[in-house]
Amino acid sequence: MDCDRCGEPAVMHAAYSGAHLCETHFRRSVEKRVRRRIREDGLVPEAATPEKPVTWLIGLSGGKDSVALAQILAETFAEDPRIELFALSIHEGIEGYRDESLAAAEDLTSDLEIHHETVSYAEEFDVRMDEVVEDDPESMAACAYCGVFRRDLLSAYAEEDDADLLLTGHNLDDEAETAMMNFLEGDVEQMAKHFDASLGPLPERTLTDRHVPRAKPLRDVPEKEVALYARLRDLPAHITECPHASESFRGKIQSLLYELEESHPGTRHSIMAGYERLARQASRSVDRDRSYTSCDTCGAPTTGGRCRKCQLLDALDA
């Protein structure tokens, strides 16, 4: 097939839109969607100036999503002195897996001349995911532990480095899965939290005074398109599934969405369009009066006496 825009050989076909695009126009399409999301979510504040720039922390795993995001952000703001970028990578303690992705992250940030730091669960929490999976005191999927620890570290370092925004490489598939999980679990409060934490435009959020705000500029781009973009641009991305990935609820939702998208192209986009409206309404109507306090152990913001990370670390030490 030929590109709809220039007649050159197409490298992809988007069934949800019917578009056939060549390499050049496909790359432009991905970049355009990311930049549009940055504008629509109001991520660059009007008050930002070259004299008073804002700092964005990129959570850089070294996988295709975060690598593609870092590349696009670096190119978008290369000549914009209002935005300062730096990146943080996390070593979870997964033998034979994370080392390669961290090498990819190091190569990319070196090429882009972005300041890059790496921290580890071992240094910060004295735990390694390989050991956590063996102990599993809470009888949870590995991703449940890892997600809590990763979010805590990203938030802590964003606070420590005075970041104005924390950006992650969540793509359309990731967000549609989260939306489906929250909806099927009937978790209206989680919908509201999702909107306030990372989904809604910054001016509409209500919790930005308690945490460094998050943003997901890739959330309009399907996972396969992110992977193709990374490959076509020859980015140093490590594309291998974590060995501890399990058949969790998210995994089942992922399989369901693949089937739905195959038979009904555009399902993911439709889910997110409706979910964002629901999440916005939930944010406005759910009781948000629960007071935030500081964790008794680590000082992180929490609605209880101790944060979830400290609870899990105690369970692992028991």
| DSSP per-residue string spanning 39-55 | HHTT-S-TT--SSS-EE
CA atoms 224, 233, 101, 170: torsion sign:
negative
How far apart (Å, rounded) are the C-alpha atoms in residues 262 and 280? Answer: 28
Q: CA angle at residue 57 from 53 to 58, to 5 degrees?
A: 130
51, amino acid identity: E
What is residue 41's predicted lDDT score, i.e. its pLDDT?
A: 95
CA atoms 158, 114, 55, 60: torsion sign:
negative
Query: What pTM, to 2 d.p., does this model score?
Result: 0.93
How far apart (Å, rounded) are the C-alpha atoms in residues 145 and 148? Answer: 5
CA atoms within 13 A on the CB side of 175: 32
Residues in the chain: 318
What is residue 63's predicted lDDT score, i.e. its pLDDT?
A: 92
Q: Which residue, 245, 238, 295, is CA-closest to 129?
A: 245
How far apart (Å, rounded) are the C-alpha atoms in residues 260 and 267? Answer: 7
Residues of the chain short of pLDDT 70, as ranges, are 207-209, 246-247, 287-291
How far apart (Å, rounded) are the C-alpha atoms in residues 14 and 138? Answer: 41
CA 130 to chain centre: 23
- Measured from the Cβ of residue 92, the count of other Cβ atoms closer than 10 Å reads 23
179-185, long-range: CB < 8 A, 24+ apart? 179/271, 179/272, 179/275, 179/279, 180/253, 180/256, 180/257, 180/271, 181/249, 181/250, 181/253, 182/275, 183/275, 183/278, 184/253
Q: Which residues contact 69 (CB under 8 A, 6 or more apart)?
A: 34, 58, 167, 168, 169, 217, 218
Coil, helix or strand for 307? coil
Residue corresponding to tokens 């959020």: 205
117 beta partners: 88
Burial grade of 269 (CB within 10 A; 0-12, 13-18, 19 or more): middle
Q: CA angle at residue 185 from 316 to 173, to 5 degrees?
A: 85
The domains of the chain, with CATH numbers, are: 37-287 (3.40.50.620), 288-318 (no CATH)
What is residue 254's predicted lDDT score, i.e. its pLDDT?
A: 92
Pairing of strands 19-21, 12-14: antiparallel
CB distance 229 to 27 below 8 Å: yes
